[in-house]
Structure 1
């Protein structure tokens, strides 16, 4: 199997709350929006985030156990600590709960976390040791102290 992820699909208790948060609150444009079922957003080149109604997600999986992994976050890297704070403020204005205010991170950068209305946790980070080459290859190192 080739190493790669193209879709990240999350079981979502309330697709209307997700729409209000991501589309109305954050200004994201959906690739596909099927009310009461699923929203798809392109979140990176070739990568899509799906927010799928939890009941329909379980039916699609032929399972009632959709608890999934614990400790999951999606991370959004930005260009500066100020941009981290602006993103966290925008998320809070849109209805997110700030889990961790912007602050220096153990990895040497700056980050904070918010929880969307359905419980999905996002990290917003400035990591000067993270970069993407023109060919799409990610470079990840440690920030020198």
Structure 2
């Protein structure tokens, strides 16, 4: 297996609301789709983000869609500076997300915080002074 993640698909309660959050609020570049499409794709650097109705995604994977609370996964967005951490968290809140953890100094020497999208998917926004930023 090649060591890569091609697409991260988030199961969402309201596709329209989630598209507005990611496309309009966070300004992620969305792939054009047909009217009434039941999935949305956003091209990111090195991978894709997909939004798909939670129940349909669960059906596709043949699992129950009634999961609640922390799903045991977070997504991370690394930035070039501490200031960008605060800026991205602010953008997420302005777009309709919830600030879960304000940015703070980390035990590993960086700076990070968390927001949740309209479906509660957790995103960490982090600056790591030990990593070279590659965009």
Q: State TM-score, norm by structure 1.
A: 0.81
Aligned to 1:97: 98
- How far off its partner does 1:131 sit? 2.4
Higher RCO (CA-CA < 8 Å; seq separation 6+): 2
Quote the offset at 1:74 in angstroms: 0.7
> What is the TM-score of this pair, normalised by structure 2?
0.86
Q: Secondary structure at the match of 2:115?
A: strand
Q: Does 2:13 match 1:20?
A: no
Where does residue 127 of structure 2 map in the other structure? 126
Find the counterpart in structure 1 of residue 43 from structure 2. Answer: 42
User: 1 or 2, which has the higher strand percentage?
Assistant: 1
Q: In structure 2, list runs of 5 or more residues that go unmatched.
A: none
* Partner residue, 1:85: 86
Match of 2:62 in 1: 62
- Aligned equivalent of 1:31: 31
Please report the RMSD computed on the Cα atoms of aligned residues, expressed in angstroms.
2.2
Indicate how the Cα distance of structure 1 residues 132 and 84 shifts in structure 2: closer, same or farther if over 3 A, else same.
closer
> Could you tell me whether the CA contact under 8 Å between 2:80 and 2:133 is conserved in 1?
no
Give the length in aligned residue pairs.
132
Gap runs ≥5 in structure 1: 134-145
